[in-house]
Structure 1
Amino acid sequence: MNMHANNIAGGARAPWAKAGTQPRVAIIGAGMSGISAVVKLRQAGYTDLTVYEKTGKVGGTWRENQYPGLSCDVPSRWYSFSFNLNPDWSHRFSYGPEIQAYMEDTANKFGVTDIVKFNTPVADLTYEGPQWRLTTGDGTVEHYDVVISATGVLHKPAFPNIDGLDTFEGDMFHTARWDHGVKLEGRKVGIIGTGSTAAQIIGAITHKVGTMNVFQRTPQWMIPLPQKEYATGWKWLLRTFPALQKLTYNFYFKAMSKNFGAATTGDQKKLADIQEACTKHLEEAVADPELRAKLTPDYQAACKRLIFCSDFYPAISRDNANLITEGITRITPTGIETVDGKLHELDVLILATGFDAAAFILPTKVTGENGQDLGEAWDGSPRAHRAVAMPGFPNFWMLEGPTGPVGNLSLITISEYQVDYIISMLNKMRDDRLEAVSARQDAYQHYNEDMGKQMPNTVWASGGCTSWYFDKSGNPNLYPYPPHRYLDDMHDPDFSEFRLIADVKEMQAANA
């Protein structure tokens, strides 16, 4: 009875902006972007919101990842919601459990948790102008005026394509599905991958395992993590004088944007400083010249996502650690065989092989105007207009969408700016009594062609490496300009880049 009533209430109705009613807004995902969307939309006066979350908790990537040593590479004071600054961070760079607790606390404090449909994945989104039909995994159907995808970038684990992966008889799991019931002490552990996740895990557990075998395909540049534990007095000061919290937030915001943001997008002096710091770290932390040679990349620092880690080099230098650079031939029931014919016997195999960075809202099926399928439109090379919109998909918005500025910046800040941009679009719809808004095809093409021309000037494209930033197009799926340019654009939308549709049925009839 209740479900039937909800479906009727959420069915086709008069366009909200013309009727002067609240838009029904569906938000897909209850991670940091979803939480930010709810809070900021409410602050802007949009209150008919529903969040769909595929799991049983808020938190997104911080809920998914629970591996030992997990920490953030963005300072805590900046890796925070601007509307809920936290004076009680325990460290300059927070650890995973504390960030997850902060996400849950924020969601509870601002009433986000109350409107989340947990354990409810969205299977299908179909545009039925001017509304969207949303179908959940259990077949429930609802209709919404606006859909916001807040699914994040790194949420779909990528598994290596290695012969025999399914034959291993020991304990095996992906880092995003960490099995806390598996005993590590004294056992022969192998880890495939040497990215940020692997570096943190290796630094955290090598001292307690029997043997740590690290299978390295490509070495990584690492910069020391300037970790610091905050004193009780400092926390009291920030709690007592909230203005100081805003000052520290802005300090790290500007420092990270001007240094790492500028270095990756063309500032050669700042890039050289990063290279020098990474080289010095490696030389000082690894005494064995043979091991140091194996750990030395042949590409520019920051070409791949820069790793902030002080524990990896000491860990990989331990007597019980082996850095294996020979390629993997196959996985056997008892271990990993490399191209030199050696079998490395293992009790536990950890897959630190990252995520499908081209998935975004997929595998949810999204169908726009004229039956256009989003997955087919992207075809492994997802792009968007200003990272938030797609031509042919009216009233559909993305947070942290394709070509979003990833880099070593706070994704919370980027999400908040993107929500502000979406709010500007909703205000435009309300004020002009529009039924639909979508990116213009020519604006989308110009925007992405312009970024393609700029990309060779970035370290991601010119630094001599390949990385998970690259997609099927052969180009990094990133924003190639300094971050402040993107953030400024988010607060100064150009409505001429969008189709502003006053009457969807009339437009459809004219195009028939």
Structure 2
Amino acid sequence: MSETQHRKLRVAVIGAGMAGILAAIRLKQGGRHDVVVYEKADRIGGTWRENTYPGLNCDVPAHAYTYSFAPNPDWSSFLAPGPEIQRYFENVVDNFAIRPLIRFNQAITSCIHRDGRWNIETSGGLHDEADIVIAATGVLHHPSPPAITGLETFAGDRFHTARWDHSVPLDGKRIGIIGNGSTGVQIVSALAGRAAKITHIQRTPQWIMPMPNDPYTDEQREAFRQNPALIDQIRYGEQYTSLVRRFTDGVSDPDSTQMAEIETVCRNNLEASVQDPELRERLRPNYRAACKRLIYSPDYYQMVQRPDVEVVVGRIERVEPEGVRMVDGSLHELDILVLATGFHANRFMRPMTIQGINGADLETFWSRNPTAYLGVAMPDFPNLFLLNGPTGPVGNFSLIDIAERQWAYIEQLIAQVESGKCRAVNLKTEVMQDYDQRRVEAAKKTIFGSGCASWYLDANGVPATWPWNYDAFATQTAAPKLEEFELIG
């Protein structure tokens, strides 16, 4: 079919974070559709806009956490700091000229399928109708404050890490950090030596995978500029790709040699890094490595051995005006209380009202647990596609890699509509049910299901993430099987 015979579609993208930017660029490059991006905030960036805490970086190598079509020779270090990542996305938006497509301060309140199109309402009072909707809302963007008795009585400064108060001076203060995921670990490393004292309060310790974070020299960055193949060696080279494959093979099979290797590296990191036997045992988890999302750090174990850092492992009784009281009766007096307690990882597009065909309502469809086929599609929500949606491999490898693979899959479904073969594509219910059944059974057998509490677990205690390895995801998202979809109209 010639170019002029393609249907011009109205495509609405929800979110101007990493995945929404990707979708907007690819749609603009296609040049055939009318594209708009709705962003709830006043600027782009998603999680890199929301999170600005000290020590923020990405635990995926910078050159691997980069769009395949927009390499960046100027990363300052192997693991990029958050402000650089935000600047990278800002630059990409401008370099690919998609900023005019973005409607800022327009959170989607409802998205209802009516008369063959998606009817969209925003918090700013805009109404739109779209043929295709791309939900690129991200995973970790609804902060989850802890339910701790007396939290509101704390007399000092208190804030969640995703709402960091930069007006609060940190130097010379007694700072308590509740939570020891990647965020808590990064903050401890960043503030040790600045604060008078750091108290890192954690319910259970974490396994730490050593990850060097060497800065790139001016000479290296110039070499990246002159020879982009050097960037490809990092992004696609055997060293990184083999690590990803070994890790995902290990996660999907806890009895594998790959999993044993991961556990050995983490255990040796603890044994070799922490000299004090009592502290070493305090930091030793009682579950298998990678059961919780693995923490990557070049220096956490070194930082917690400083005399101005204290690790407190146990349950909190309550927060008092002076500080945090543990169940053992000890009181840790603080000037600043930082809540590194993560996000509601099961929200995704919610609290938007999203209604499809045949009476489908997203809140009802996700009442047991959020799910989407390959993290992309759901039955009875025709022409609604997700990027980094539920059951995708969040935490297993680069989210940009995941989103680019999912977008290539989605593009092929959109092509069915723009070619005129149908007005909508709708995932078949039996395909979703079969996928969920297979996924749940496989997820229970992964390392994530080996017996620990983590944000990977859904309300039924089943790991909600992708349970198979990297190659399985790459294969299954390479091309949609059209027989799995109903072609409507």
Normalising by structure 2, what TM-score?
0.96
What displacement does 1:432 show? 4.3
Supply the AA of the counterpart residue of 1:447. Answer: Y
What displacement does 1:328 show? 0.8
Supply the AA of the counterpart residue of 1:128. Answer: R
What displacement does 1:454 show? 1.4
Contact residue 306 and residue 408 of structure 1 kept, 8 A: no
1:483 equivalent to 2:470? Answer: yes
CA distance in 2, matches of 1:389, 1:334: 49
CA distance in 2, matches of 1:77, 1:259: 19
Contact residue 358 and residue 380 of structure 1 kept, 8 A: no
CA distance in 1, matches of 2:400, 2:437: 27
Contact residue 111 and residue 352 of structure 2 kept, 8 A: yes
**Structure 2 residue aligned with 1:257:** 244
**Structure 2 residue aligned with 1:506:** none
1:335 equivalent to 2:341? Answer: no
**What secondary structure sits across from 1:62 in the alignment?**
helix
Q: What is the aligned counterpart of 2:201 among 204, 212, 215?
A: 215
Alignment of 1:438-457 (within 5 A): 438-457=426-445
**What secondary structure sits across from 2:416 in the alignment?**
helix
CA distance in 2, matches of 1:351, 1:115: 35
Q: What is the aligned counterpart of 2:46 among 60, 67, 84?
A: 60
CA distance in 1, matches of 2:29, 2:235: 21
Alignment of 1:110-509 (within 5 A): 110-251=96-237, 254-266=241-253, 268-379=256-367, 381-462=369-450, 464-502=451-489
1:24 equivalent to 2:1? Answer: no
CA distance in 2, matches of 1:121, 1:163: 32
1:353-384 Cα shifts (integer Å, max 9, x gaps): 00000001111111112442212221251011
Which is further off, 440-449 or 247-256? 247-256
Q: What is the aligned counterpart of 2:21 among 35, 58, 67?
A: 35
Contact residue 31 and residue 152 of structure 1 kept, 8 A: yes
1:27-79 Cα shifts (integer Å, max 9, x gaps): 01001101111112233344311011111111111111111111111111111
Task: Specify whether residues 33 and 253 from structure 1 end up closer, same or farther in structure 2 by C-alpha distance, changes over 3 A only.
Answer: farther
Which structure 2 segments of 5+ residues have no match? none
Task: Specify whether residues 445 and 82 from structure 1 end up closer, same or farther in structure 2 by C-alpha distance, changes over 3 A only.
Answer: same
What displacement does 1:19 show? 8.8
Which is further off, 231-240 or 214-223? 231-240
1:82-116 Cα shifts (integer Å, max 9, x gaps): 01011121111111111111111111101121211
CA distance in 2, matches of 1:214, 1:169: 19
What displacement does 1:237 show? 2.2
Coordinate RMSD, CA, aligned = 1.7
Contact residue 6 and residue 420 of structure 2 kept, 8 A: no
CA distance in 1, matches of 2:228, 2:274: 43
Supply the AA of the counterpart residue of 1:260. Answer: F
CA distance in 1, matches of 2:452, 2:326: 23
CA distance in 2, matches of 1:330, 1:243: 55
Which is further off, 279-288 or 74-83? 279-288
What displacement does 1:457 show? 2.9
1:248-273 Cα shifts (integer Å, max 9, x gaps): 32116523321222221127212111
Which is further off, 368-377 or 478-487? 368-377
Supply the AA of the counterpart residue of 1:469. Answer: Y
1:378-429 Cα shifts (integer Å, max 9, x gaps): 1251011111111111111100001011133110011011111111001112
CA distance in 2, matches of 1:389, 1:87: 35
CA distance in 1, matches of 2:87, 2:33: 25
CA distance in 1, matches of 2:486, 2:115: 14
**Structure 2 residue aligned with 1:94:** 80
Contact residue 6 and residue 419 of structure 2 kept, 8 A: no
What displacement does 1:191 show? 1.0
Supply the AA of the counterpart residue of 1:217. Answer: R
1:142-187 Cα shifts (integer Å, max 9, x gaps): 1111111001111110111111122222100001111111111121
What displacement does 1:214 show? 1.5
Normalising by structure 1, what TM-score?
0.91
CA distance in 2, matches of 1:256, 1:47: 39
**What secondary structure sits across from 2:419 in the alignment?**
helix
What displacement does 1:334 show? 2.2
CA distance in 2, matches of 1:46, 1:60: 27
Supply the AA of the counterpart residue of 1:82. Answer: S
What displacement does 1:244 show? 3.3
**Structure 2 residue aligned with 1:505:** none
Contact residue 71 and residue 93 of structure 1 kept, 8 A: yes
Supply the AA of the counterpart residue of 1:474. Answer: G
Supply the AA of the counterpart residue of 2:165. Answer: D
CA distance in 2, matches of 1:18, 1:41: 17
Contact residue 44 and residue 423 of structure 1 kept, 8 A: no
Contact residue 328 and residue 337 of structure 1 kept, 8 A: yes
Which structure 1 segments of 5+ residues have no match? 1-16, 503-512
What displacement does 1:22 show? 1.2
CA distance in 1, matches of 2:201, 2:479: 47
CA distance in 1, matches of 2:101, 2:240: 31
